[in-house]
Amino acid sequence: MACITSMILSKASAFRALWPLRLSSSRSFSKWQLALAAQNFSGYESIQAQYKPEVPEYFNFAKDVVDSWAEAEKEGNRPTSPALWWVNDQGDQVKWSFVELSHVSKKAARVLSEQCGLQRGDRVIVILPRIPEWWLLNVACMRTGTVLIPGTTQLTAKDILHRVQTSKARCIITDQVLAPAVDTIASKCPSLEFKLIVSRNHREDWLNFSDLLKLAPAKHDCAVTKSCDPMAIYFTSGTTGTPKMTEHSHASHGLGLGVNGRYWLDLTPSDIIWNTSDTGWAKSAWSSVFAPWIQGACVFVHSMPRFEPTPVLEALSRFPITTFCSAPTAYRMLIHHSLSSYKFHSLKHCVSAGEPMNPEIMEQWKTKTGLDIYEGYGQTETVLVCGTFKGMKIKPGSMGKPSPAYDTQIIDENCNMLPPGKEGDIAIRIKPTRPFCLFTRYTDDPERTNSTVRGDFYITGDRGMQDEDGYFWFVGRADDVINSAGYRIGPFEVESALIEHPAVVESAVVSSPDSIRGEVVKAFVVLAPDYISRDPEALIKELQDHVKKVTAPYKYPRKVSHDLASFRSLHWLLNSAQFLHRLHVLAFNTLHGYVPAPASFYILPLGSFSSTTLSFVDVSFSLT
C-alpha cells in the first residue's frame, strides 16, 4: 500500500500460540521524551494540504493493510514491535506481529467460511470482552466479506434478541458468560444458524471456536470486496425510537479512519496506543483497530472488565505506551489519584473523545503529568469530524478545528452558513460529492437515513458554534438545548460548572417544565463520599451559588433533585428523549466503572431504567 513507506529494518518474530504466555516482564521498547512536534505533519495547514485520499474500486482491510504490513515485516521493512499486545492482571500476555495476525486471522476466516458456511454479506454478531479473539474476529470477518456487528458485554437477553432479529444475523459469537442469554432467545431468531463460543469449555449446541481455530488450515483466499460494500454495522441509540443500525463500508472505516490515525493520533509504526473503549462501541473501531493498524502502530489492550484508576496508572508506567485515548470521565478519575507516584516514561500523546472535556480536567492533567489532552469529536456515523491536532493552540472546552475528511460547517435551518459566534447545527457537506468516510445508511431504514439530510448537508444532530479562529464549540444536542425564558442554555455548560465543585463526581443536566419560564435547568448529581451526609438543602444552595459564580447566572440549575420518591413519580422523564440523552454518559460511566456506584444518588437509581435502554447507549460519541 501507498501508506507503507521505508521503515526501520528488523526481522519479524516467529509465530506464537494463541493463548496467553506467562512472561516475567514486558519487553522494553525505545524510550520517548515528551514531544510537542507532530510526527506526520508540520501544522494544521499542512494537514489540509496533505490529505488527498484515493478510494479504489476494490478494497479489503485484511488484505490491503494487515497482509501488506505482514509482508513488510517479512521483508524487514517494519519494526518488530507487535501489532497487538494484550495483557491481564494475572501477568499473562499475548503479542502478535502483523505476520502472526495475518496467519491466525486466515485460520479464523476458514472457521467462519467452512465450519459455519458463511458467505459474503452474511451478518455476524460478535459480543466479546477485551480478549485477543475479538481483534482476530474483526479481521476474519473482513477476510470473508461477512458483516461484523459488535456488541457490548453489558447486553441482556432482550438486547441480543433485538439485535439478532433486526439484523437477521446468521451467526453469533460470544463467551461462556453470555452464551446462556443467547440460548434463551435463539428459538425466536429464525435467521440464527450458528453459535460459536470462545471458551476452553464446551457447551451443548455450540461450536467451540477455540477448538476449530486450532484445527483450521492457515490458507484462505480473501473475499473480493468493493470499497462501497458493507463491512460493519453498529447499533447506536437515537434520542427517539429503537437503536439504529449504522452501516459502514470497507472504505469508510478501512480507509477513512486513516485521518484519525495519521493526524489526530499522529501514529507511526514505532508507536503503541492504548484505547480504553469497550469493544461494543464504534470508538474501538476508531482507535483500537483501523486508525492504529493503518499506520502500522501497535494496539495495546488491558483485559480489565471495568475501568480502575490504579491498574491503568500502573500500566501506563510499566509498559512503553506512547499514546493514550480515553473518555473525559476516565481522566477525571485518574487526576484524583496520586499521579506523582507514577512515572510515564514513554507516554507522549493523550487524546479524548466521547463527550466534551471539562477545561478543569485538562488543566489538572497538564499540571500533574506535563501532558496536554487533545480532544476529538465524531459520531458512530463518521470518522473524526473535528479535533485538536498537535501544534495547534489548545482551547480548553473546544472540539478543535475541522478534520480534513469533511467540509464541516455551522448552518441554520435554511442551510445558510453562520458567521463566527452564531449557534447553529453542526453539519457536513455531502453534495455534490458524499464523503466516502461517512456512514452508508441506517440499514433497512430509509426514512431515518433521509432524515439526516438537509439540503446539501448531513445534519449531525449536534448544536455548536465556530469562533473567529475557526475552532468549533459544542453546545448540545439539537433536541436538548434548554430554552428558559428566552435564554438558550447548553446542558454541558452547566454540567461543567457543577463538576468543578468538589462535592460533585458526575452530573447530568436536563430541561424541566416550568409554568413561568416554560422550562428551567434541572440537575442530577453523583456526590463525592465526603458530601453524602451533608444537609441536602444547604448543599443544593451551595451548588446553585457555585454555578452562578463560574458561569452566567441565568444558567444555574433552579432544580436539583434529591427526593428519590418524588423523582420516581416523574413518569415524563422515562419517556423523555432529552433526558435519556443527557443521562446516557452518566449511566454508561457508572455501569462500566468510570464512577463508583454511589451510596447516595441525586438521581433515579440506574436499576430503575430498563437495561435495554442503558445498553443502547454508545458513549464513544454523542449519539454515543
The residues that bridge with 95 in the sheet, in sequence order, are 85
**pTM, two decimal places:** 0.79
d(CA 123, CA 515): 50
Query: Which ranges in 8-111 belong to alpha helices (H)?
Result: 44-50, 61, 67-74, 98-110
pLDDT tens sequence across 37-84: 899 999 999 999 999 999 999 999 999 999 999 999 999 998 878 999
CB atoms within 10 A of CB 201: 10
Q: What is the mean pLDDT of the segment spanning 518-524?
A: 88
pLDDT of residue 243: 76
Identify the residue with better confidence: 14 or 551.
551
**Average pLDDT, whole number, for the chain?**
84
**536 falls within a domain:** yes
pLDDT of residue 226: 98
The burial of 474, by beta-carbon neighbours within 10 Å (0-12 exposed, 13-18 middle, 19 or more buried), is given as buried
The burial of 406, by beta-carbon neighbours within 10 Å (0-12 exposed, 13-18 middle, 19 or more buried), is given as buried
464 φ, ψ (degrees, to nearest 5): -165, -175
Q: For residue 21, name the pLDDT band (cuts at 50, 70, 90).
A: very low
**505 falls within a domain:** yes
pLDDT tens sequence across 93-150: 999 999 999 999 999 999 999 999 999 999 999 999 999 999 999 999 999 999 999 9
d(CA 314, CA 310): 6
Q: Is there a contact between 621 and 378 (Cβ–Cβ < 8 Å)?
A: yes
> What's the domain count of the chain?
1
- Which residue type sits at 276? T
pLDDT of residue 326: 94
Looking at 73-209, which runs of residues are DSSP E strands? 84-87, 92-96, 123-127, 147-150, 171-174, 194-197, 207-208
Residue with cell 518474530: 13
Q: For residue 599, name the pLDDT band (cuts at 50, 70, 90).
A: very low
SS3 18: coil
**392 falls within a domain:** no
**575 falls within a domain:** yes
Residue with cell 438545548: 481
Nearest CA among 259, 291, 251 for reference residue 275: 291
d(CA 82, CA 157): 36
**599 falls within a domain:** yes
pLDDT tens sequence across 462-509: 999 999 999 999 988 787 778 787 677 888 888 888 989 999 888 888
Beta strands 457-466 and 424-429 are: antiparallel
Question: Does residue 172 register a pLDDT over 70?
Answer: yes
Q: What is the mean pLDDT of the segment spanning 138-163?
A: 94
Q: Is there a contact between 223 and 145 (Cβ–Cβ < 8 Å)?
A: yes
Contacts of 37 (CB under 8 A, 6+ apart): 390, 391
Q: Is there a contact between 209 and 197 (Cβ–Cβ < 8 Å)?
A: yes
pLDDT of residue 238: 53
- The residue segments making up the domain with residue 598 are 488-615
**600 falls within a domain:** yes
State the CATH number of the domain containing residue 605. 3.30.300.30
198 φ, ψ (degrees, to nearest 5): -95, 95
**498 falls within a domain:** yes
**527 falls within a domain:** yes
Nearest CA among 435, 429, 404 for reference residue 417: 429
pLDDT of residue 191: 98
Question: Does residue 199 register a pLDDT over 70?
Answer: yes
Identify the residue with better confidence: 3 or 523.
523
Question: Does residue 6 register a pLDDT over 90?
Answer: no
pLDDT tens sequence across 210-254: 999 999 999 999 999 999 999 999 998 653 456 789 999 999 999
Q: Is there a contact between 528 and 332 (Cβ–Cβ < 8 Å)?
A: no
Question: Does residue 403 register a pLDDT over 70?
Answer: yes
pLDDT of residue 165: 97
Of 109-113, 390-394, 515-519, 540-544, minimum mean pLDDT range: 515-519
pLDDT tens sequence across 532-590: 889 989 999 999 999 988 877 888 999 986 543 333 333 334 334 444 444 544 544 54
pLDDT of residue 16: 28
